Amino acid sequence: MNALKLDITKSGVTITPDMEKAALEANALLYSGKGAGNDFLGWVHLPSSISAADIEAIEAEAARLRAKADVVICIGIGGSYLGAKAVLEAMSDPFRLLHKAPQGPTLLFAGQNISEDYIHEMLEAVKEHSIAAIVISKSGTTTEPAIAFRIIKAEIERRYGKREAAERIVAVTDKARGALKTLATQEGYPTFIIPDDVGGRFSVLTPVGLLPLAVAGVNIGELVRGAREMEHATGEDVPFAENPSALYAVVRNELYRQGKRIEILGSYEPKLQYINEWWKQLYGESEGKDGKGLFPASVTLTADLHSMGQYIQQGERILLETIISVAKPAHEVRIESDAENLDGLNYLAGKRISEVNRMAELGVQMAHLDGGVPNLRVEIPAIDEHAIGGLLYFFEKACGISGYLLGVNPFDQPGVEAYKKNMFALLEKPGYEEATKAIKARL
Ligand code: PA5
């Protein structure tokens, strides 16, 4: 049984039999495959379908890369970036770069932007390091990672020659389609496949997330085990009241129906900041369509209490808040007593910092409730692979149920094409001649 706890008692929502029925039906659709987007349901059973041999194969490839390079550049965007980044940041010491003896290679990310300065500074920084790359793109045609890969591939080939480059570059892509697959086959890169029926933002537990994380030394077996337990804890046979994903989906949908328009995800642990980013993609791309959907926003606390806190407390009353709370910190630091007590903090002497953090969390929750911001609380026992794996699947399952409750196809993203068409037209990509003429006339 997964140890994640969901508290909806401060949401102000009273669950009705109709809500329960709708949630059970929505969850059942994910299993029957009769809902919209049913060709992208591979993530539902993904954790339980990953075998020990799959994990071993990924770990073996990761070990090979670790032996070759002290910096591995992971190239991808959106769902081909955020899952690995989120788990890596959660599992890492934020000050790791300052440690004298780094454990294993440093993982860097590229292809998640088109910034010339970013790519230049990365290449400068890795000059004295031995490098390898993992290039990730399901479609194999996404512009941002394709540009970054062209540059990093050239750098690797310049340094090590074409033959050795094929030992230092690993591709993660579709089994048959796309330019990356063609390139990987032609160059002889080791390749991992992204299943056809798993969309980008649901792909963190495929090699998209698992390979980079294994390279960074994350225990991917435990990550998958945590997700697998959550898969069982949110299965179609689980009673509604015991299914945290179904409860979360129902409450946020009811609050949306009542007029809330923005859901803020927050945590008092800065290591979870990129979990927020991953969650924003998951919910933003899955629900934000057909003129509907809660806008997913995020805060890192307590830092953002000193910026966004004012708005949350007293701005437009269109917010709900979900807090990821961590029951047990990994380390113990106590506040010391000071003879002069000039800062007036001796009343806290002897207390652990986490006790103060906990009181901040509680105090903020009460203040926000008083300010008309309903609160949901997701508690995980600790920040470790098992708990994070469970958390990821909890949000994925809730997203599938929530999208169906909202009445959208949670598994497509037609809206992300609009900017691409304009960008290609502006860049005069062959095939876009008419669009180029039209867009230039608008400038
Ligand atoms: O969720 C999605 O499908 C998208 O955000 C993609 O992950 C993103 O656009 C990257 O696509 P690809 O992996 O095809 O390069």
State pLDDT tens for residues 156-165: 999 999 999 9
Cβ-contact 130, 70 below 8 angstroms: yes
pLDDT above 70: percentage of residues in the chain: 99
Beta-carbon count within 10 A of 33 CB: 12
Residue 306 among the catalytic residues = yes
Ligand 1 closest atom vs CA 201: 1
Q: Which of 420, 421, 437, 440 is catalytic?
A: 420
Q: SS3 string of the chain? A: CCCCEEECCCCCCCCCHHHHHHHHHHHHHHHHCCCCCHHHCCCCCHHHHCCHHHHHHHHHHHHHHHHHCCEEEEECCHHHCHHHHHHHHHHCCCCHHHCCCCCCCEEEEECCCCCHHHHHHHHHHCCCCCEEEEEEECCCCCHHHHHHHHHHHHHHHHHHHHHHHHHHEEEEECCCCCHHHHHHHHHCCCEEECCCCCCHHHCCCCHHHHHHHHHCCCCHHHHHHHHHHHHHHCCCCCCHHHCHHHHHHHHHHHHHHCCCCEEEEEECCHHHHHHHHHHHHHHHHHHCCCCCCCEEEEEECCHHHHCCHHHHHHCCCCEEEEEEEECCCCCCCECCCCCCCCCCCHHHCCCEHHHHHHHHHHHHHHHHHHCCCCEEEEEECCCCHHHHHHHHHHHHHHHHHHHHHHCCCCCCCHHHHHHHHHHHHHCCCCCCHHHHHHHHHHC
Query: Tell me, what's the pLDDT at 420?
Result: 87
Q: Give the pLDDT confidence score for residue 102 in this predicted structure.
A: 65
What band does 99 get if pLDDT is binned at 50, 70 and 90? confident
Looking at the CA of residue 199, tell me the nearest atom of ligand 1.
3
Ligand 1 centroid to Cα of residue 307, in Å, is 32
In this prediction, residue 2 carries a pLDDT of 59
Q: Whose CA is nearest to atom 5 of ligand 1?
A: 78
- At residue 69, the pLDDT reads 96
Q: How far does Cα 156 stand from its chain's mean position?
A: 28
Burial level of 385, CB count in 10 A (0-12/13-18/19+)?
A: buried
Q: Is 420 a catalytic residue?
A: yes
Going from the Cα of 222 to the center of ligand 1, the distance in angstroms, rounded, reads: 25
Which ligand 1 atom sits closest to the C-alpha of 145? Answer: 15
Pocket, ligand 1, Cβ cutoff 6 A: 77-80, 137-139, 142, 145, 199-201, 285, 413
pTM for the full model?
Answer: 0.96
Q: Are 321 and 375 in contact (CB under 8 A)?
A: yes
Does residue 53 register a pLDDT over 60?
yes
In angstroms and rounded to an integer, the radius of gyration of the C-alpha atoms of the chain is 23
Which atom of ligand 1 sits closest to the CA of residue 139?
14
Q: How far is the CA of 84 from the centre of ligand 1 (A)?
A: 13
Residue 239: per-residue pLDDT = 96
10 Å CB burial of residue 89 (0-12, 13-18, 19+) is middle
Say how many Å lie between the CA of residue 410 and the centre of ligand 1: 14
pLDDT at residue 206, as a whole number = 98
> CA 345 → CA 80, 267, 335, 349, distances in Å?
46, 24, 9, 7
Q: What is the mean pLDDT of residues 22-40?
A: 97
In this prediction, residues 408-427 reach a mean pLDDT of 92
How far does residue 200's CA lie from ligand 1's centre (Å)? Answer: 5
Catalytic position from the list 34, 99, 306, 331: 306
Which residue of the set 263, 285, 321, 361 is catalytic? Answer: 285
Residue to substitute in 85, 142, 412 for testing ligand 1 pocket (most ligand atoms within 8 angstroms of CB): 142
Pocket test for ligand 1, best of 75, 109, 147, 413 (most atoms within 8 A of CB): 413
Give residue 190's pLDDT band: very low, low, confident or very high (50, 70, 90). Answer: very high
The rounded distance, in Å, linking the Cα atoms of 316 and 89 is: 32
Mean pLDDT of 124-137: 97
Residue 418's pLDDT is 86
Q: What is the pLDDT of residues 385-406, one digit of tens each?
A: 999 999 999 999 999 999 999 9
Amino acid 265: pLDDT: 98
The per-residue pLDDT of the chain, averaged, comes to 96
Q: How far is the CA of 81 from the centre of ligand 1 (A)?
A: 9
Mean pLDDT of 267-271: 97
Closest Cα to atom 8, ligand 1: which residue? 78
Count other C-beta atoms under 10 Å from residue 330's C-beta. 11
Nearest partner of 212 among 98, 122, 113, 86, judged by Cα: 86
Confidence of residue 103 (pLDDT cuts 50, 70, 90): low
In this structure, which residue's CA is closest to atom 15 in ligand 1?
137
Q: Which atom of ligand 1 is found nearest the CA of 142?
A: 15
Q: Which domains does the chain have, with CATH numbers?
A: 5-37+229-414 (3.40.50.10490), 46-223 (3.40.50.10490)
Measured between alpha carbons, how far is 169 from 131 in angstroms, rounded to an integer?
9
- Pair 355, 410: CB distance under 8 Å: no
Which atom of ligand 1 sits closest to the CA of residue 77? Answer: 10
Nearest to 329 by CA among 293, 355, 365: 355
Q: What is the pLDDT of residue 226?
A: 98
Q: Residue 270: CB partners within 8 Å, gap ≥ 6?
A: 94, 300, 303
Query: Between the CA of residue 19 and those of 24, 169, 207, 257, 399, what are the distances in Å?
Result: 9, 49, 36, 12, 16
| 106 beta partners | 71
Q: Which amino acid is at 417?
A: E
Averaged pLDDT for residues 96-121 = 89
- Structural tokens at position 293: 């959907």
Residue 374 Cα, ligand 1 centroid: separation in angstroms?
A: 32
Confidence (pLDDT) at 98? 83
Q: What is the pLDDT of residue 96?
A: 83
- Binned at pLDDT 50, 70 and 90, residue 299 comes out as very high
Mean pLDDT of 262-274: 98
The Å distance, Cα 203 to ligand 1 centre, comes to 9
The answer to whether 406 and 287 are in contact (CB under 8 A) is yes
pLDDT at 153: 98
Calpha distance 138→195 (Å, rounded): 9
Return the best residue to mutate from 74, 80, 206 for the ligand 1 pocket (most ligand atoms within 8 A of CB): 80
Indicate whether 176 pLDDT > 70: yes
pLDDT bin (cut points 50, 70, 90) of residue 326 is: very high
Task: Evaluate if residue 1 carries a pLDDT over 60.
Answer: no
> 423 is written with which tokens?
């960008």
Average pLDDT over residues 67-76: 96
